[in-house]
Chain A
Amino acid sequence: MEILSWTIQLAFVPAMSPLFIGIVRKIKALMQNRQGADIFQPYRDLRKLFHKDEVISQDASWIFSLAPYLVFATTLIIGAGIPIFTLFFGSIIPSDFLALIYLLAFGTFWLALSGIDVGSSFGGFGSSREMTLSAIAEGGLIFSVLSLSILSHTTNLFGISSFILSLGFSRFAIVIGLAFFAFLIALLAENSRFPFDNPATHLELTMVHEAMILEYSGKRLALMEWAAANKFLIFILLAANLFFPWGIAGSLGIISILSALGILTAKILILCAFVGILESTIAKYRFFRLPDLLFTSFVISAIVIELIIQIQ
């Protein structure tokens, strides 16, 4: 039982992330009255990419070659270090939210470098936009999780999850909701979703994330795309399990694990549906309107922290 649980904990994010990306795309297609591709299509795409040869620019250096491995590795680590379906691992996995956020920053750093490494203007402005948005989103991201952390008196993500679970529906519900809203903005920013970036666009001049990986091909492109999918699922899992941890298993009993996985899937699907519907009903924001949104996320979180301390 333990081995199975460990396997799920370590492999859930990389194994399931393409599926949930496929589901988001399917929802967007249905909203546009299209059939859309099958929800398992991203797996086939990854497989196809792993079978292709690569072309690497002569201008690129070892940074370009190493970056996809590093970026993917960081998503694996973070994916294994967050609460997914059970709180049992809380005492074993050292899961400090600052460490995880800065590991994400590590991945973003290398991603941005790889965009500059090829010397094309697309990669250059892609990196510029990504670092700009990421720098300003950091405030909201850290503070929204911090607010929960202050509420739970711990920075360990499993600890936060367990504390919020024990709260039930309490007088903190509204502030948790506000913190969730702030976190949601950071989620959309860090994963290059609407209104920050359009993941399905073909217009190079408007891209943020896609522009940085424009030069990648073959297995390295597969790693970068997979890493982006992993990052998306990680944020969704954090949103689901930190702010609304109900249903998460406390132990390793088979029944609690199965029900936890079921409830988790439902929560993830709701969040995926939200992202899909959002992307189908609004337009992308103007680039210089985005920082306002991110600063709003930061300010809301700061207010939430003050409120939490007052209410406690």
Chain B
Amino acid sequence: MDYKQIIEQYLPSMSGAKTYGNLIMQGIPVENIRSVINHLYNERKLPLKFITATDERKEGNGFKIIYIFGIPKENLFLAPYIQLKETEDFPSLMEAIHAAYGYERKIKTFFGLNPINHINPAKMILHENWPEGLFPLRKDFHWQSRPAEASAPYVFGKVEGEGIYEISVGPVHAGIIEPGHFRFSVAGEEIINLESKLGYVHKGSEKLFEILDMNEKVRLSERISGDTSFTHSLAFCQAVESLAEIKPSFRAKYLRVIYSELERLANHLNDIGFIMLDTGYSFGGSNGARLREMIMQINERLTGSRFLRGVNVIGGVTKDIPPQTSGDLLEELASIKKDFSEVINIVENSDTLLNRLKDTGKLGRQIALDHGAVGIAAKGSGIQIDARVDFPYAAYNEINVKIATEETNDVYARFRVRIKEVFSSVEIISEALKNMPEGELSENSAKISLKKNCYSVDIAEGWRGDIVYFVATDADGNISRVAVRDPSFVNWAVVGHAVKGNVVPDFPLINKSFNLSYSGNDL
């Protein structure tokens, strides 16, 4: 990897560029950041993966706002950053890059840095009862402080017009689902506008990462989004391994692939069932639930945990798949695949179901691209984006992964993407099981020592989309910042666009076709 070449290609100059493993960072003067980002995003067409901030005032570096771009084929991350020493304002990029809208608002809420020319720099995730002027991710905010409750009004956007009324659902729902508030402006049955208010399950995870010890940190990463426990902890462990310069064994990497794909299988089967259930098609719903249960029981037999918790550690995995189990697993997956094919055959012939799914909830390709959508939302709109192919991690560089996309942009497209990924996951697991080499499960390190003043970025393709972890260490080699970007954070922005023009009873279906994590969004 010729870093020099890369830097010459993408960045304005060599000065100040530092390489940390697969991450190249360079400080950019504030006045130039717009043109640099513009160059990278619009001209070089690099995907913008994350924008986050760190508080390095103690080290005398002020605040840093870091723009993380990925260079797919090279498997590198490029992160220009700006330093705010005297000021708390920074130029907003949201007009040119829509994805920046959410990131900058979050930076404002948690760090108190003001994006200039941002249309709506209101608090995000923290609600109106959080007092003004308190920014939780700043170093001088103690993690156990309890501010007094404020009471400011929360103003929703209003669609004017006589006869337009609002439907407000949540955060308490009639079913057992995550809490979120949706405010629709409707004309009769047609949805004119949707405004969502999330943040009801904000747990302060990013702050907590800075407090807990290493094992606990891994456990915390599993709880960012409960149904993506394994892949979240995988991304985190990979980021820390790069800081500790630990390389897990090939066997461990293959095992990680297998477990990650099992998690993907379970969730996709569940979703496929639920999408059908939300149209009232109980045949499909109950079969989806049944198939998912089979995977969950496999998970429990292999690792003792239905959600594959406690499996990832820094340096590898804790649970092995011996050859005998491997053979049983292959057989079981083959029978599940056959079962699933039969169900899908029946389902694809159900006119009533397909009539509901097709042409509902269309998400235009350009909208998805502008908002930086990832995962299933993007794939359903024809965008080829998958971290297993773009930034191969674990053992994915040795496994053939086909990116599943559909062109029709609707609920049916996202439904079919999941079906394709189920089949592809079964293939990947079979290939991995057959080719898995011998090796240690995990590097036995009593004490993990991290590089000082270092940064790392790592990515893993969760079943919803790619998960990005940005980890920074301080001068003592302790982790000083963990920034998490769950795919739901990006994709929530496009749900509002997908529902416009649809009727109200179709909203649960459209929402389910995205199936975003509230907890992953709120952290």
Contacts and interface: CB of A to CB of B under 8 A. Distances in A.
A285 B351 CA distance: 10
Interface in B268-311: 276, 278-283, 285-286, 290
A170 interface: no
Interface stretch (A27-35, A91-99, A262-270): A27-35
B470 interface: no
A32 B353 CA distance: 17
Interface in A69-125: 121-122, 124-125
Contacts of A287: 189, 503, 505
B174 interface: yes
Contacts of B281: 282-284
A194 interface: yes
B508 interface: yes
B355 A285 contact: yes
A203 interface: yes
Nearest to A206: B505
Interface string A186-211: 00000000110010011111100000
Interface in B169-198: 169, 173-175, 186, 188-189
A251 to B, nearest CB: 44
Q: How large is the interface on A (under 10, 10 to 19, 20 to 34, 35 or more residues)?
A: 20 to 34
Given A32-B283, A284-B356, A204 B350 contact: no
B282 A280 contact: yes
B174 A283 contact: no
Interface in B292-351: 350
Interface string B451-486: 000000000000000000000000000000000000
A195 B279 CA distance: 10
Nearest to B286: A32
Contact of B174 (A31, A203, A288): A203
A136 B278 CA distance: 25
A121 B165 contact: yes
A119 B286 CA distance: 35
B81 interface: no
B508 A279 contact: no
A139 B280 CA distance: 27
Nearest to B177: A202
B431 interface: no
B255 to A, nearest CB: 34
A282 to B, nearest CB: 4
B279 A283 contact: yes
Contact of A121 (B167, B290, B352, B506): B167
B167 A282 contact: no
A205 B278 contact: no
Contacts of A32: 282-283, 285-286
Contacts of B290: 33
A31 B286 CA distance: 10
Contacts of A28: 282
B129 interface: no
A105 B282 CA distance: 31
B428 interface: no
B9 interface: no
A289 interface: yes
A202 B174 contact: yes
The 10 closest A-B pairs by CB, nearest first: A202-B175, A284-B280, A283-B281, A283-B279, A32-B286, A121-B167, A206-B505, A283-B353, A283-B352, A282-B352
Given A32-B283, A122-B167, A125-B186, 11 more contacts: A121-B165, A121-B168, A202-B174, A203-B175, A203-B278, A205-B508, A206-B508, A280-B283, A286-B505, A287-B503, A288-B189
Interface of B: 165-169, 173-175, 186, 188-189, 276, 278-283, 285-286, 290, 350, 352-353, 355-356, 503-508
